[in-house]
Structure 1
Amino acid sequence: MIPSLTVMEPKTPQDLHVLFFPFMAPGHMIPMLDIAKLFSHLRVQTTFVTTFGNASLVQTTINHFNSTNSSNPPIKLALLPFPSTEAGLSPGYENAAYITSLDMGANFIKAVTMLRQPFDQLLQQLLPDAILTDSFLPWTLDSALKIGIPRLVFHGTSFFAMCASHSVEQYDPHSRPEESFFVPDIPHSIHLLKSQVSNWKTNPLIMEMMRAMQEAEEKSYGAVMNSFYELEPDYVNHYRNAMGRRVWHVGPVSLCNENIFDMSTRGDKPVIDKDECLNWLDNKKPNSVLYVCFGSVSRFTTTQLHEIALGLESSQQAFIWVVKKELFQDEREELMEEYEKRVEGRGLIIRGWAPQMLILNHDAIGGFLTHCGWNSTLEAVSAGVPMVTMPMLADQFYNERLVVDVLKIGVGVGVKEYGTGQRFGAGIEKVVSVVHGEDIEKAVLRLMTVGEEDEVMRRRARELKVSAKMAIEKGGSSYLDICKLVQELTHKKN
């Protein structure tokens, strides 16, 4: 039986009330909850919306924030019933991180769309002054218009990716015979392969969703993005001026988590004790450890997992490797146990959620092997850590080009095809292509071996770390942007 709508609301009347509703996936929920914290710090009443099955991912963070920030309005939590059974999903599959096949993905999107009715009921109940909802929830625009309030759209990616993907959509490289192309009409000369850009036109479901997202953004009040002006000024300006979009940059939002508890519990409860992890790092030299994590959605084939393991082992570098615990079943677990014995003392393998912010900000971390998801990329920038880039899906190839070609704080492993190394079906090994261990080893050594190239990247990464911190401090570019947005919404309400 589906539980009824529930709103947990401490009663603290405030002048402006904004409701936050992210797409149900870690990479979307985590930054939007941080944005809700930033709004609360500005004396805005905030309500965070998710489903009953996702409540445990945010409840601890919200409770801790409310108990330690008594001078600010508390963050309220509103829970919606998720129609798993009606959409053809098993009960409990309420987060995109649990989706293991393309068919499940289609049913998940169907279930998310079916949240429209309970969400409309929630808006009628709370009557907020504005909503900030995920770009993946375009139908929330109609919900906002129905009660006459502005809808802001949240894009969980970089300005660079938004600008480049917009140009690629207009250029349509898949309709041309060339196998590679330069992205037109953007501030830098950026080269991509057609095989690195997904051709959405072959998938009617995705095409319809992309169309709805674009139309909803054009009719929304504006966009909010987790970035900062000093990181990608050319693309903030391009997005605002050349593309003509209203947008506020409010990041890096992860930096609102300043104490060890917030950094260690951000997103979920880690499977490793924070002290155990930090003690392991304390025994390593500065800049000597490579942190390896590919986000919450990546699902590798056995072949690709084997190649990553070989590359890390043969590099002879100390490393922490975070892997999804469900990736190790049957023969995979036995192989990993043998591998752990071979790299004991030099490699620490974490099966499940890790305290990523704590790890990245430790002095021993000298590099980050990443899938280039935007949250991970920005967290590395905020920690002053250069990257080895291994993109696979979504906006990751665009973010790689930002890191390697524009910011010049990373080295690519040379991924040439969208979906490389990924498992696309439950139990089905559909290998698009594989990144080989020797290519991973080569890129890791380029980044971690002391030399002129390494030092240039590290110096640039350290400079961006300083800029990131300044951006969210009082008077900084992101601080001023979020203040402007709050002032606009308050004026519009009054």
Structure 2
Amino acid sequence: MEANAASSAAAAGDLRRRLHVVVFPWLAFGHLIPFLELAKRMAARGHAAVTFLSTPRNVSRLGAAAVPPELSAYVRLVSLPLPRVDGLPEGAESTTDVPHEKVGLLKAAFDGLAAPFAAFLADACSAGADDEAAGFGRKPDWIVVDFAHYWVPHIADEHKIPCAIFLSFSASLLAFHHQKSRAANAADDKHTRTEAEHLMAPAPATTSNTLPSDLAYRRHEAKFIAAAFEPNASGVSDVDRMRQLRQRCAVVFYRSCPEAEGPPCRLLADVTGGRFLPTGLLAPSPAATANDGGGDRDEAATDLMRWLDAQPERSVVYVALGTEAPLTADNVRELARGLELSGQRFLWALRAPPAAARDELFPEGFEERIAGRGVVRVGWVPQPRVLAHAAVGAFLTHCGWGSTVESLQFGHPLVMLPFVADQGIVAQAMAAKGIGPEVERNYDDASFRGEDVAAAVRRVMVEEEGKVFVRKAKELQEALSDKARQDHYIDEIVEFMRSYKFTGGA
């Protein structure tokens, strides 16, 4: 009995030493997952009890297994009801639930979370008014938000709680935009930054600018990014959301580290005076991903793993273009042609374009011709488990930063086929590191040919150059495998939180 009492006292003391941090990601799984990983890392390091906020369906989809049992006392998932918005599909609570043209409506619904968030925060502050309170009974010490939450700092200020922004983007992307913005401000030429041509030009060279000299958006990418300067269906542009947040938040955390990206991280540190801090890559451990229970519950996913078990080591190209790349039926057909022409084994996780019949997506006879050496799975695939498998030798990817991070920890060379958002910048930065080629394409309309897909795949899997890509990827994997160093980034951001003195806004 005395031992139990001592244990309870120790647990209470542990909770009192922890901050109470609220993390609140944007409604996209490419954001939900790294925010949850950040929450778990802060809890596992003994730094914080973390309240993770999202909407009911997203919390349900993350599932009970999202937080391991040993962290269940320190990480809780809390739902806020998403308001209905005319035109938004029933049950849509994340970007995976809507076509790209309706994401603005999702942002409008998201802005309706301001009232339930204010009520949640008022309750949390009332319950934790006692400075000696512990864990989730303590008033929140910090709120960590995403790019979209421009209305949160105003609510947090009422309770004297500081805010941080966590951007799950690469340092290369952030450094590029920071340098472009500085140059436009210096030239008093702010209007040009909204034009595609401005985004297609590399950031001007300075003594602190160590970005690749030709890093810039291509035309189809630049048009997509330029749209972020215009108000969407929510009435607020993405750029204006970020601008307001940057003015009111104390610090920006970003998902990268010098071991992964090097010069862009140093640039951000040099030119922002410590206002940008890396979190590390926040990649799940290989052991955890290799035993992901989600795959075991899905018979089809288990069949995929059995198929991989039967393939030679490093012989399979894993193909996945994320959940939000704007794939057309033509894109799918050319990718299918390229995989067939390459002659290589492949496992393709395909998110089919809306309203496209399977027999209309592929060249006639495609599935019969690739039977045995190629598998196409329409629907969910346990990506981390696949990437961890010894049969996988390369990853054909859209270069979303989350997928890139997952690949880096397993040392795979990349075949890169970016589409929108940050993907082109990530692809160029990874190509500059020598870990794989981009698929050649028409940069005006984003089209590509099967022959160019096949050529890029063969460069990695067949040609002598592939050995260099593998070596570079393995070197990067080794540099990122220092767990103590990755943990240190978490320690540093929490140390910033502990030492920061709130003065009524950033």
TM-score with structure 2 length normalisation?
Answer: 0.83
Q: Which amino acid aligns with 2:451?
A: E
> Counterpart in 2 of 1:312?
339
> Counterpart in 2 of 1:410?
436
Q: CA deviation at 1:343?
A: 1.1
Q: Does 2:32 align with 1:29?
A: yes
> Counterpart in 2 of 1:354?
381
> Counterpart in 2 of 1:159?
171
> Counterpart in 2 of 1:56?
60
Question: Hey, what's the Cα distance between the residues in 2 that align with 1:248 and 1:335?
Answer: 45
Q: CA deviation at 1:415?
A: 3.6
Question: Hey, what's the Cα distance between the residues in 2 that align with 1:153 and 1:278?
Answer: 38
Question: Hey, what's the Cα distance between the residues in 2 that align with 1:396 and 1:377?
Answer: 10
> Counterpart in 2 of 1:238?
267
Q: Which amino acid aligns with 1:154?
A: F
Q: Is the CA contact 1:386–1:461 (under 8 Å) kept in the aligned structure 2?
A: yes
Q: Does 2:231 align with 1:205?
A: yes
The one-character-per-residue Cα deviations of 1:325-377 (angstroms, maximum 9, x if unpaired) are 56464364685895332211111112112111111121211111111100011
Q: Which amino acid aligns with 1:347?
A: G
Map 1:355-394 onto structure 2 (within 5 A): 355-394=382-421
1:21/1:269 Cα in 2 relative to 1: closer, same or farther (>3 Å)?
farther
Question: Hey, what's the Cα distance between the residues in 1 that align with 2:468 and 2:434?
Answer: 9
Q: Which amino acid aligns with 1:83?
A: P
Higher alpha-carbon deviation: 30-39 or 123-132: 123-132
Q: CA deviation at 1:179?
A: 10
Q: Does 2:136 align with 1:124?
A: no
> Counterpart in 2 of 1:427?
none
Question: Hey, what's the Cα distance between the residues in 2 that align with 1:201 and 1:261?
Answer: 39
Higher alpha-carbon deviation: 37-46 or 336-345: 336-345
Q: Which amino acid aligns with 2:257?
A: F
SS at match of 1:383: coil
Q: Does 2:487 align with 1:482?
A: no
- Name which of 35, 43, 49 aligns with 1:45: 49
Question: Hey, what's the Cα distance between the residues in 2 that align with 1:179 and 1:166?
Answer: 12
1:245/1:263 Cα in 2 relative to 1: closer, same or farther (>3 Å)?
farther
1:248/1:211 Cα in 2 relative to 1: closer, same or farther (>3 Å)?
same
> Counterpart in 2 of 1:423?
none
Q: Which amino acid aligns with 2:124?
A: L
Question: Hey, what's the Cα distance between the residues in 1 that align with 2:388 and 2:31?
Answer: 22
1:190/1:131 Cα in 2 relative to 1: closer, same or farther (>3 Å)?
same
SS at match of 1:388: strand
TM-score with structure 1 length normalisation?
Answer: 0.85
Question: Hey, what's the Cα distance between the residues in 2 that align with 1:231 and 1:345?
Answer: 36
1:389/1:168 Cα in 2 relative to 1: closer, same or farther (>3 Å)?
farther
1:352/1:197 Cα in 2 relative to 1: closer, same or farther (>3 Å)?
same
1:197/1:396 Cα in 2 relative to 1: closer, same or farther (>3 Å)?
same
User: Which has the higher Rg, Structure 1 or Structure 2?
Assistant: 2
Q: CA deviation at 1:160?
A: 0.6
Map 1:440-455 onto structure 2 (within 5 A): 440-451=453-464, 453-455=465-467
Q: Is the CA contact 1:53–1:94 (under 8 Å) kept in the aligned structure 2?
A: yes
Q: Does 2:217 align with 1:190?
A: no
Q: Is the CA contact 1:61–1:262 (under 8 Å) kept in the aligned structure 2?
A: no
- Name which of 236, 254, 265 aligns with 2:283: 254
Higher alpha-carbon deviation: 235-244 or 457-466: 235-244
Q: Which amino acid aligns with 2:440?
A: G
> Counterpart in 2 of 1:89?
88
Q: Is the CA contact 2:279–2:490 (under 8 Å) kept in the aligned structure 1?
A: yes
The one-character-per-residue Cα deviations of 1:194-249 (angstroms, maximum 9, x if unpaired) are 44323526862157330231231243121222212211121111112124452332
SS at match of 1:89: coil
